[in-house]
Structure 1
Amino acid sequence: MKLFKIPQKAGKKHKTRIPKIKTPKTNSLKTKIKKINFQKIRFKLIGAFIVPVGLIILLGFVSYSKASTGIIKNYENAIETSLNMLSQYYNLGLDSLYVKATQVNANEKVKKFYSGIYYDETTNEEITYNEVQSLVKSIAMTDKMLNSVFVIPKNGEGVSSYKVLPEDTYQQFMESEEGQNLPNLGLVNYWAGSHRFLDRLVSVGEEHYCMSLYKNLYDKNYNVIGYIVLDVRMDFVKEALSELNLGENTYTAFITDDGREIFDKTLDDDFTFSSQEYYQLAKSSEDLSGYSYEIYNGQQYLFIFSKVESGNAMICSLIPKDMIIKQAEDVKTVTFIFVIIACIIAIMIGSIISSGISKTINRINDGLSKAATGDLSVNVKTNRKDEFLALTTSINNMIDAMRSLITKMTRVSENVASSAVDVSTNSGLFLDAVKQITDSINIIDQGLSQQAADSEICLDQMEGLSNQIDVLTEKTSDMNNIANSTRGVVDSGIGIVDDLNRKSKDTVNITQSVIEDIQRLESESSTISNIVATIDNISKQTNLLSLNASIEAARAGEAGAGFAVVADEIRKLAVQSAASANQIAMIIKSIEEQTEKTVLTAKRAESIVSSQEKALHKTIEIFSDINKQVESLLESINTILDGIGRIEVTKKDTLYAIESISAASQEATATSGELKMTADNQLNTVQLLNKAAERLKADAKNLEETVHIFKM
């Protein structure tokens, strides 16, 4: 530990406490400031406490800034969220009006009545009209957010939840201001803030409703036949606005698309959102919600808006900024007070702690200074109960341990001196043993080198044998491939011959069928010959009969002239029939002769095909024998390949074993070299050990002289 001294005049005793600074003359003040040593731990601790004090001040400032920003941001988000939730509430409520309008449009009674179905049925028309009016009233009464419902048809009497409307209501409505402003709806809904014409018609003020929904009225064929108007109850908007309760001096309003503004309370001035430029910007923007800071009457306000999409309306609020930052000002005051208190407490605690630490460190320093001069009888004391108590206890234990250590060192130094002599003697013997080990290692190294060379020669020879085995394997594989190809060719040949054999059998069968057909043809030809003979006999008989008829006709004279002509014609036909029968007989005879020749030819073909079939059977047997020989050849080649495979495995194992032997020999050679180097190093080390033993003897003597310096 480095000690710092305060400069002082000769002959004066130094004091560690900080002198009081009064208000004397300037020269006296400078003299006292010079006496203060700012390097003392007291001032360092106070300075260390001043740093967190400064950080506390900075923390207070940052906390206020963050809190102010956070409070304002949270307030802005909270108000915006509240307005968005209110907007969603309005959306849900206004969406239900579409359902109510659809309920009216979808009602069959309404469609039939206003489609003119009951124009000629007075009783049914009146009944249906009453049912339609009851429907409209029930819809208005059962829905809490509905104030009134109007059904304005182009033709016929209109209906409202108040009373019956005149028949010319539609024409008067279209001529009114709201009717002229009403666009062609189509499928679009139209929202309005008021309808003065309908108010006058039913004697109701606009304070009872806040806005109205206009929807087309359709007949059975979905043609537009009028309008449905639904008024939203004023309480539906005002109650929700009043529950928002944003505070005093705030402006909150529900603003319809046509500019009607409904505030949550009665205003003391004539303020309107519609006349403000920022409202118009918010209305024309695509954002559904947002906020900005604006100036009104020389004061800054937070303007927040949220659009109600279902009713084409907006919720707007104007809140004074002073009301928002009021909470932040309270945070600022509380933060400032706590920071001041924290600074005072930190400085006081720092001064007290630094003073106690400084005194304790000085006492410890005095004790350690005495121990450094060799006085081990010193004992450091303190009244503190913190870590300094543990420190002084550890220092006293250290001094006691040093005292015990010095006592032991005195005894050990004598033993070391005796042991140093023994070490010197044994190191000499160890040196001789190491020299003998080195000589033995040299002999082993020579033998290992010769073994490594022999392993290299064996490895080269084995690699040559391996190459020859690889060539043999390659040739045998080629033979196997050729044999496999041959077997494939033989199998293909057998298949072709089998196909040819099947075709020859088919040829034999066809030939036999042809012979049978020809034989049947021969039999039929004989039958035809018999028929021709019969025809020839008939023609002869006919000729004979015609001759007899001619004779009889001649006998009859002129009376038999006609019969003679017939007899002559019959004779001619008989002659022609006989001639035709002779020609047919000659053709049949020719067919029989050709048939006999064809039968002989077919039989010779059958004999030839039979001999071909026998030849094919012999060919198949020859191919089968070739296939068996090829199979036998393949089995032999596979046996050779298996043997070569086992030789290959044995070759690899042998090569691996020889390589392992060679590697082991080389490794053993390298190891023996390293062992030799190790032995040489050990020899050098033992020599150094011998010299160190001599120095140990001298150091042991010096140690014995040194331990006698300390005071026990």
Structure 2
Amino acid sequence: MNIKKKILAISIGPVLVLGIISLAFSVTMVKNSMLDEVKDALKGTAAATLAAYDQNTGDYMETSNGDIWKGSYNISKSESLVDRIKSNSGMDVTFFYGDKRIMTSAVDGNGDRVLNSKAGDKIVEKVLKGGEEYFSRAVSIEGTLNYGYFMPVYQNGSTDEIIGMVFVGTDKQEKDMVINQIIWSLSAAVFAVMIVCMIVGMKFASSISKNIRTSINAVGKIAAGDLTVWVDDRMLKQKDETGDLSRVTITLRDAMQETIKEIDKNARTLLDASRLLQTAADNTSGTMENVRTAVNHVVDNSAEQAENSRNTSEHMRIMGENITETTSEVKTLDENAVSMQQSSEKAAETLHRLQNINSKVEDTIHEVQEQTNRTNESVKRIQAATEFITSIAEETNLLSLNASIEAARAGESGKGFAVVAGQIKKLSEQSNQSSKEIEETAKELQDDSSKAVEIMEEMQKIIISQSESMSETQKVVEEVISQISNSMQSIRQIKDSTENLASTRNEVLQAVEDLSAIAQDNVSGTKETYDETEMVVDTFQQVYKSAEQLREIADKLVGSIEYFKITGV
């Protein structure tokens, strides 16, 4: 059953049942009431008739001619009394002496009075023998049914001697017509009320069903995504539950419109933010590729610098051996003056070799200095790259914060965005930490390079001093060769110079070893920087993938929102 049938069943069913019950009860009550009224009227007339007869003094008796007397009053000749009672009450009156009609106002078809007929056995049993007053709903008088009332007549002054009875009757058909007319009028009124109630119930049921069906259609359209539905103003103005349902439907539509508009706005903002984040991650990834290339180049330069430092150390070892050899030759010259000329020539040759070695060392130091300068330039590029990474990480962190805020506004639909935004924030913090570690490593590398530059400058001064010493030694050797007579003095000068040279050689050798250690440290540091750069590149690749996932989710959300039809969207 639909709601219309249910409302009709609830409203009309009880009316029908109540109408039928009321009609049956009313008919019964009216009929019984009318019968009681007829009975009371008959009883009153019978009592009045009996009183009229009893007002005559004397006993009831029957004479030899068959007349019945009450004292001096001849009942058998009391036509005027019974006719007057009939005229006043409209009822037939009969006086029974025993069970026989003595006097009556009832006449037959010929106009003769109905006399000398006998009463029925039931009436005799109840009235004459039982002494009861008896009301009959069907008493036949010459074929005409009457409502009749029988009242026993007692002998004058006796309470137990019944000599006859008084009967009062009225036409049953006339009374039934009156009763039936009242019943039909009452039935017509009840049926009219029932029909009116049924019509009103059907109208209300149709109206309620129509309004509910209209609201259901509106809600169905809303469920189908159409948020442009409208409800008739007459339904909105109604004060009943259907009006409340219509107003709630409009409220639901407006609330869903506002919600979907807000979700659409947030989804599009999230889509723009994800695209911006993806672009930033892509740009940062490209920048980190450049940084990785630069760091790789620094690693290669550092390795080359370490190799040059090892070569310089080897040259310094050779130079030390040469200096030791020169010292031995000077001792030989000191011990054997005869071999002065040969020793001088050997010393000249040795000095020549020393000058060549010194030139090589000077060139090597210059090359190491250039490598160190390149290292400083690479460190500066690393610092600039780390500053750029830091700025990108801060911007990424800000974008993730905005995405978290927009996801929080989206409620349940935005929980997936909040997780992605949290992952992006975590990645940006890792990127920021990695950039700080790179910056610290680059700073240490720059400090080490600065120290290397200072050592190079000191070593260069030593080499210049060594070159000057070589020149002086060369002059001494030439003077030894030209002035053999002063050989001993020149040998002592050579001995002193070689000792100074040995001392200087040790200092230069120590500086070169320090430079080699620094170069090795630079190689380790730049390798660590390269590894960290690789980690940063991988991190930004993850950021790029996360941004791509976020953009895909935002695209799906925007596509889902397009399911709804909203005014102005």
Same fold (TM over 0.5): no
TM-score of the two chains, using structure 2 as the length reference:
0.26
Higher relative helix content = 2
Instruction: Please report the TM-score for the alignment, with normalisation by the length of structure 1.
Output: 0.21
